[in-house]
Amino acid sequence: MAWVRKRELVAERNFCVPQAHCAPKRRKSDPDETGGLDPASNLRSMQGSVSLMPQTLTREIITAAIAGFESQKRQIDSKIAELRNMLDARHTAAAAPSSKAKRKVSLASRRRMALAQKKRWAVMKGPQLKSSTPASHPPRRRISEEGMKRIIAATKKRWALIRAQQAKPNRALAKTSMKKASIPKAA
């Protein structure tokens, strides 16, 4: 375990992003590279000289980085597994496979079961089903021949009245146009 922690410390030291907490501490009386006492300019000058990655990657650094990433991956995988277990806990309880093998029912047995179920339903619903059979409905009524003749006569009479009313305005219009044509115009 100690060697893993040593690798992590080496990786942190070599992959440190330059920030205020990574910068070496200076006293205010010490002048920076630019010659001033301004801490902001001091930080800017250090950021320019410090790179994010070391110039040479040794075998030790690379193995430490791999070990760090693998530990992060294990943590992420365990959290994903916990979430999946929480999500599937509801479904697995309802659909848990039984230890017994599912027995197969023969076709003849299924037919006997279906007939028995129909018989039970017939006993329960018997009187109600028989009252709603199609034979209990009254026969469909048809119109008699006399009734049909009366309807045809009434329809013909109604259409004759409609045509007569439509013809009256046309006759009146025709009569007025004839009268106008027969009157000589005075010059």
Instruction: Inform me whether the pLDDT recorded for 75 exceeds 90.
Output: yes
Contact (Cβ atoms closer than 8 angstroms) between residue 7 and residue 60: yes
Write out pLDDT tens, residues 78-130.
999 999 888 887 776 666 566 677 889 999 999 999 999 999 998 888 766 45
Identify whether 54 is part of a domain: yes
Establish if 101 belongs to a structural domain: no
16 in any annotated domain = yes
pTM listed for this prediction: 0.23
Question: What is the rounded distance in angstroms from the CA atom of residue 131 to the CA atom of residue 3?
Answer: 89
**86 or 47: which carries more pLDDT confidence?**
86
Q: What is the mean pLDDT of the chain?
A: 75
Residue type, 168: K
**Residue 102 phi, psi dihedral angles, 5° rounding:** -70, 125
| Domain coverage including residue 81 | 2-92
Task: Report yes or no on 15 lying in a domain.
Answer: yes
Whether 71 contacts 11, CB under 8 Å: no
Buried residues in 84-104 as b, exposed as e (16+ CB within 10 A): eeeeeeeeeeeeeeeeeeeee
Q: Is the residue at 82 inside a domain?
A: yes
Residue 28 pLDDT > 80: no
171 residue type, one letter: R
Q: How many domains does the chain have?
A: 1
Which of the four pLDDT bands, split at 50, 70 and 90, describes residue 151?
Answer: very high
Helix, strand, coil percent content, the chain, rounded in steps of 5: 65, 0, 35
* Residue 133 counted as domain residue: no
The answer to whether position 179 is within a domain reads no
Distance of CA 32 to the CA centre of its chain: 62
pLDDT band at 159 (very low <50, low <70, confident <90, very high): very high
Give the pLDDT confidence score for residue 2 in this predicted structure: 62
- Give the pLDDT confidence score for residue 40 in this predicted structure: 53
87 lies in some domain? yes
